[in-house]
Structure 1
Amino acid sequence: MTVEVSHHVDASEPDEDGLYAYHYEYEIYEFADGVMTLIVRAYLDEPASAALIGWSKGKHSYPLRKRDLSHPLFLKAATYLRKIGKPKLDWLDRRSKAYVPLDDSEV
């Protein structure tokens, strides 16, 4: 498994006082096994949390399904994230389009 991390900022233009309407800083983790890539987002203001978002294969992306929670790459990524201090993991469920807490018993 390879892991790539990139830093991102999503922010509005500052107003005349230098204030932003919105400002988000986050890191994108890409866990790859040579075939598939699992995409994870972690906001810097929530250092103990991360959200497993979906799969990428080539130029295509795929949402997560319940069955993906047992995929070897998913399991390795969850273990990695917990080891680096992110014990609160959520995953974006394709069916409900909601973030679902990842229970320790699921991985």
Structure 2
Amino acid sequence: MWIIFNYFSWALLCISYIFSLTQSVSKYITRSIIMCRLAFGLIIISQTVISFRTFNHHLIAIIIGWACSLILIYLIESSFLKRQYLRFNVWRLFITIILIIVNLIIQTKIDL
């Protein structure tokens, strides 16, 4: 159940992140930021539960997964800041999407 919840949270994060970067109206960007922050909370909750259940078996993968998740939160929040006030860099989007894929691969390894 927590694995499905975790993947659903990652999907929600990806959709709201990409949707917010393609919008030009500030009202829609704010809604997407709220959805991303909700997804952050859901990801942290599900990763915490999964980490407690598999801590003895996959310690290194759990630490790397948490580090990637924290870096992702930083990248997405700074992307929103850059999007609202400055010109957005496409490389930041590319790095964020790659890091999301890496984090999903790590989560899949932990969940198996």
**Greater strand share, 1 or 2?**
1
Q: Which has the larger radius of gyration?
A: 1
Per the shorter chain, which TM-score range?
A: under 0.3
Q: TM-score, normalised to structure 1's length?
A: 0.27
**Greater helix share, 1 or 2?**
2
Q: TM-score, normalised to structure 2's length?
A: 0.26
